[in-house]
A and B are shown apart, each in its own frame.
Chain A
Amino acid sequence: AQKVTQAQTEISVVEKEDVTLDCVYETRDTTYYLFWYKQPPSGELVFLIRRNSFDEQNEISGRYSWNFQKSTSSFNFTITASQVVDSAVYFCALSGAYNFNKFYFGSGTKLNVKP
């Protein structure tokens, strides 16, 4: 069975603080993919990153960075020097080898960045 857990329901930070959003996943597949999406209040889900199970390299894109650790089944997302525009709901998702077209989403973490 595939499952994604985002234990943090809501996080509030003050602008310029760093914040880490946690994502823990469960799967029996050896080949799987992990994703992060951002959903601002407007509603559209914005793709942020895709990572496959064979690539454990961490990734940095501007103020965003991702830490993938298979040993702990985690794929955490860090925003450095947060900005008000980062306020959104962030979803972690998993897709496995049984059906690549099916995404399993976590429950989401709402991030509030206050000025």
Chain B
Amino acid sequence: DTEVTQTPKHLVMGMTNKKSLKCEQHMGHRAMYWYKQKAKKPPELMFVYSYEKLSINESVPSRFSPECPNSSLLNLHLHALQPEDSALYLCASSQPGTSSVSEQFFGPGTRLTVL
């Protein structure tokens, strides 16, 4: 089973709303990632969790708050977003890189629209 699932598929929210994106994998991977992708651009790394600990935060605004409750789950809590935060949010997982690199497996993404 090489699948990463994300819910919801689509999300529309106002600037005052609080919502969460969810990601789940059952491949036994111990690294999980959040990316943001704007139209016609490559994915931009936001956060990396390795062994359930935040290892990379790419200077993401605090209105995005990640959470890794266990090795299979990754959440992204959203609060007071701006219209420019509208994008495709991709989750990925891999074996954590220490002495080598494993490929990252991506979920289908959540298309977020902020009104």
Instruction: Tell whether B106 is near chain A: CB-to-CB under 8 Å.
Output: yes
Contact with A along B21-62 (1 / 0, CB 8 A): 000000000010100000011110100101000011000000
CB pair B56–A47 under 8 Å, yes or no, is: no
CB pair A107–B41 under 8 Å, yes or no, is: yes
> Which residues from chain A contact B43 at a C-beta distance below 8 Å?
45, 91, 105
In the complex, what residue of chain A is closest to B50 when comparing beta carbons?
A: A101
CB pair A43–B111 under 8 Å, yes or no, is: yes
Which of A35, A100, A106 touches B97 (beta carbons < 8 Å)?
A100
Once the chains are docked, how many angstroms separate the CA of A33 from the CA of B99?
12
In the complex, what residue of chain B is closest to A6 when comparing beta carbons?
A: B42
Once the chains are docked, how many angstroms separate the CA of A103 from the CA of B90?
14
Say which size band chain B's interface belongs to. Answer: 20 to 34
> Which residues from chain B contact A33 at a C-beta distance below 8 Å?
100-101
CB pair B88–A102 under 8 Å, yes or no, is: no
CB pair B42–A95 under 8 Å, yes or no, is: no
Once the chains are docked, how many angstroms separate the CA of A35 from the CA of B104?
10
Evaluate whether A50 and B101 lie within 8 angstroms (CB atoms) in the complex, with A101-B50, A105-B43, A106-B42 already known: yes
> Which residues from chain B contact A37 at a C-beta distance below 8 Å?
106
Residue contacts A-B, CB under 8 angstroms, 18 given: A33-B101, A37-B106, A43-B88, A43-B111, A44-B109, A45-B90, A45-B92, A47-B104, A52-B100, A95-B97, A100-B100, A101-B31, A101-B48, A102-B45, A102-B56, A107-B41, A108-B40, A108-B42
Q: Which 9 A-B pairs have the closest CB atoms?
A: A100-B97, A105-B42, A45-B106, A33-B101, A100-B101, A44-B108, A43-B109, A95-B101, A47-B103
A43-B88, A45-B43, A50-B101 provided; 20 other pairs, C-beta below 8 A? Answer: A33-B100, A33-B101, A43-B90, A45-B92, A47-B103, A47-B105, A50-B102, A50-B103, A52-B101, A91-B43, A95-B97, A100-B101, A101-B50, A101-B55, A101-B94, A101-B97, A103-B104, A105-B42, A106-B42, A107-B42
